[in-house]
C-alpha cells in the first residue's frame, strides 16, 4: 500500500512511471535531464524571441509532455503558460470546461508530432479571453464608479461603504 511519503518521493524524484490515457510520458529516469533541458530552452534566445502566446503554448506543452510530477502536471503547465502570458501583458486565460475535449485532442495531436493545432488553440483561447475582458469593460464603461469610504466605530469595527449602500 502506498503512503503519502511514497507519493511525495515519486513526485519529486520521478522514480515511478506514470500512464495517462493513451500517453506514456518519458521514463522517470529521464525526467531530471528533460526538466534541465526545458529550463534551458525556456531561458534561451530562441524561446524568448517567440511571440508570447506561442512561447506560452510551447512552454505549456513541453512541461506537460515531460510530466515531471505524479499529479498536477496539467495545472502546473497552465499556470506556467499564464505566467508567461501575464509577463507579456496578456490576461491569464481559462480553458473552458466545454472545450476540454478539444484541448485534449490538440495535446494528443502535439504528442503525435504536430504542435501547430495546440498553439492555435491556445491563441484562440487567448483571443477569447481578451474579447471577454474588452466586452466586460465596454458594458461597464458608463457605470459610475462609487467612491469608497472607510469608517471605524467605537467598538473598533471597520466598515467599508461604496456610496450605493
Kindly list the catalytic residues: 67
Nearest to 53 by CA among 127, 105, 114, 132: 127
Polymer length in residues for the chain: 165
The CA-atom distances, in angstroms, between 63 and each of 55, 133, 165 are 12, 28, 48
Distance CA 118, CA 134 (A): 24
Amino acid at each position: 500500500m502506498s503512503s503519502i511519503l511514497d507519493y511525495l518521493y515519486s513526485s519529486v524524484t520521478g522514480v515511478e512511471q506514470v500512464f495517462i490515457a493513451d500517453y506514456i510520458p518519458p521514463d522517470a529516469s529521464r525526467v531530471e535531464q528533460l526538466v534541465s533541458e526545458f529550463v534551458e530552452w525556456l531561458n534561451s534566445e530562441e524561446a524568448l524571441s517567440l511571440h508570447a502566446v506561442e512561447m506560452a503554448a510551447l512552454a505549456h506543452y513541453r512541461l506537460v509532455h515531460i510530466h515531471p510530477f505524479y499529479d498536477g502536471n496539467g495545472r502546473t503547465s497552465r499556470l506556467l503558460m499564464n505566467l508567461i502570458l501575464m509577463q507579456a501583458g496578456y490576461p491569464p486565460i481559462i480553458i473552458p470546461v466545454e472545450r476540454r475535449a478539444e484541448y485534449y485532442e490538440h495535446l494528443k495531436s502535439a504528442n503525435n508530432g504536430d504542435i501547430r493545432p495546440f498553439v492555435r488553440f491556445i491563441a484562440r483561447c487567448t483571443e477569447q479571453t481578451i474579447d471577454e475582458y474588452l466586452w466586460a469593460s465596454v458594458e461597464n464603461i458608463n457605470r459610475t464608479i462609487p467612491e469608497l469610504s472607510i469608517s471605524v466605530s467605537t467598538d473598533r469595527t471597520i466598515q467599508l461603504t461604496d456610496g450605493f449602500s
